């Protein structure tokens, strides 16, 4: 089996999670560590036994690596991805794909341009969580009857110190937003992916507790119309007293599924036997063997997604999360921002 050589672009917060995940996949060599801070690239290289390190991403793209992981700040994703694809490398890019609608359009255009030549995937590791796949399958199968509504709520806490730690955080130009584009984005992805996509949205956002510190939103709400006709709501804040609390509720004409903090919280159905069957299936997902790496709220999906990406690189098949799909939740959050600014309902 030919070894797949990989370069890591960005060795900060999420970079080590990618390195550790690649090193768990047989037949993969992490060959380069790249970071704007040389000491950070060197530290990662020494810690993980990576032979080469640099501050120059172009040096990695010019090397013999087969693929790269883009683990940098949001604003740099677009230019790095386009350069890597042009250099002939397969690409796995962390969320969010882009910090602006224009950069997102450029990345999607590149994905379509190179669709027959490159593997280009976006990170949404929670699509690999067994419980999330099970919920999607159940909704698609009609287990809940006609889907009526779906509601997302996420409450977490990010301090002023968190935003001051990196100059790109909490800025429209660099981060592209705050609670929606950063902490809530994985749940936005789950909501739209499990429900089959969003058609239009209205929304509001505000900075309620981080004034003078960030330009962007710490709290946001939205009402959505899904492509299947169901309606829904989104509520997100990073100004909560709770460190991390999430819920997704799906309501159908025949039943309800509630997932709280990534675990099954409630299943109610007109048919009680069906409710017990669905609950048992969801509870079984909690016991499925999974490999974890990184922070606890990253979940266990990075190892699975990176294994999928490597397999796609090796076999030249489409990845489970192609970049054109990873763009969907980013379009959704940009639509919420546009809805507030325009005062209109926005097509996604």
Is-same-fold flag (4-126+302-322; 127-288+329-347)? Answer: no
Please give the Cα distance from 204 to 85 (Å, whole number). 36
pTM: 0.94
* Statement: residue 127 has pLDDT above 70: yes
The mean pLDDT of 332-345, rounded to a whole number, is: 97
Q: Is CATH 3.30.360.10 the classification given to domain 127-288+329-347?
A: yes
* Statement: residue 11 has pLDDT above 80: yes
Helices (H), the chain: 15-22, 38-48, 57-61, 74-86, 101-113, 130-141, 160-164, 185-195, 272-286, 301-315, 323-326, 328-342
The confidence score (pLDDT) of residue 289 equals 54
* Statement: residue 61 has pLDDT above 80: yes
What does the pLDDT look like over 44-54, one tens digit per residue? Answer: 999 999 999 99
What does the pLDDT look like over 165-192, one tens digit per residue? Answer: 999 999 999 999 999 999 999 999 999 9
Nearby residues of 136 by Cβ (< 8 Å), 6 or more positions away: 193, 194
Correct CATH for 4-126+302-322 of 3.40.50.150, 2.40.340.10, 3.40.50.720, 3.40.50.300: 3.40.50.720
155: which 2 tokens?
A: 């409450």
Nearby residues of 236 by Cβ (< 8 Å), 6 or more positions away: 152, 153, 154, 155, 179, 180, 183, 184, 187, 219, 220, 221
The confidence score (pLDDT) of residue 299 equals 53
Please spell the DSSP secondary structure of 242-292, one letter per residue. EEEEEEEEEEESSEEEEEETTEEEEEEESSHHHHHHHHHHHHHHHTS----
Q: Show me where the domains of the chain are located.
A: 4-126+302-322, 127-288+329-347
Taking CA atoms, 339 is separated from 73, 218, 329, 348, in Å, by 25, 16, 15, 10
Which helix H or strand E contains 93, and what residues bound it?
strand 90-93
Please give the Cα distance from 346 to 264 (Å, whole number). 32
The confidence score (pLDDT) of residue 297 equals 45
What does the pLDDT look like over 265-299, one tens digit per residue? Answer: 999 999 999 999 999 999 999 875 555 554 454 45
Please give the Cα distance from 302 to 294 (Å, whole number). 9
34: which 2 tokens?
A: 């790249």
């Amino acid at each position: 089996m030919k070894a797949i050589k990989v370069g890591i672009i960005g060795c900060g917060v999420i970079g080590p999670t990618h390195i550790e995940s690649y090193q768990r996949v047989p037949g993969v060599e992490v060959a380069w560590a790249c970071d704007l801070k040389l000491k950070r690239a060197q530290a990662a290289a020494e810690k993980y036994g990576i032979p080469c390190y640099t501050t120059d991403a172009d040096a990695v793209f010019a090397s013999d690596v087969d693929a790269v992981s883009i683990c940098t700040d949001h604003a740099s994703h677009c230019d790095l991805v386009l350069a890597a694809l042009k250099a002939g490398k397969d690409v796995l890019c962390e969320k969010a794909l882009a910090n602006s609608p224009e950069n997102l359009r450029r990345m999607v255009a590149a994905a379509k341009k190179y669709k027959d030549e490159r593997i280009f995937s976006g990170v949404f590791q929670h699509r690999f969580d067994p419980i999330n796949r099970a919920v999607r399958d159940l909704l698609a199968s009609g287990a809940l009857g006609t889907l009526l509504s779906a509601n997302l709520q996420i409450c977490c806490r990010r301090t002023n110190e968190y935003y001051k730690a990196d100059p790109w955080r909490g800025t429209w130009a660099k981060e592209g937003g705050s609670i929606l584009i950063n902490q809530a984005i994985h749940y936005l992805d789950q909501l739209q992916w499990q429900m089959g996509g969003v058609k239009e949205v209205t929304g509001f956002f505000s900075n309620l507790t981080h004034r003078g510190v960030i330009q962007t939103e710490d709290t946001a709400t939205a009402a959505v119309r899904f492509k299947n006709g169901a309606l829904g709501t989104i509520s997100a804040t990073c100004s909560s007293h709770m460190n991390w609390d999430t819920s997704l509720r799906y309501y159908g004409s025949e039943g309800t599924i509630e997932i709280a903090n990534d675990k099954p919280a409630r299943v109610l159905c007109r048919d009680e036997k069906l409710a017990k069957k669905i609950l048992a299936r969801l509870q079984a997902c909690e016991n499925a063997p999974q490999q974890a790496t990184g922070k606890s709220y990253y979940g266990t999906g990075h190892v699975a997604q990176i294994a999928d990406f490597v397999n796609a690189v090796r076999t030249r098949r489409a990845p489970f999360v192609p970049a054109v799909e990873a763009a969907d939740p980013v379009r959704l959050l940009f639509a919420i921002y546009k809805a507030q600014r325009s005062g209109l309902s926005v097509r996604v």
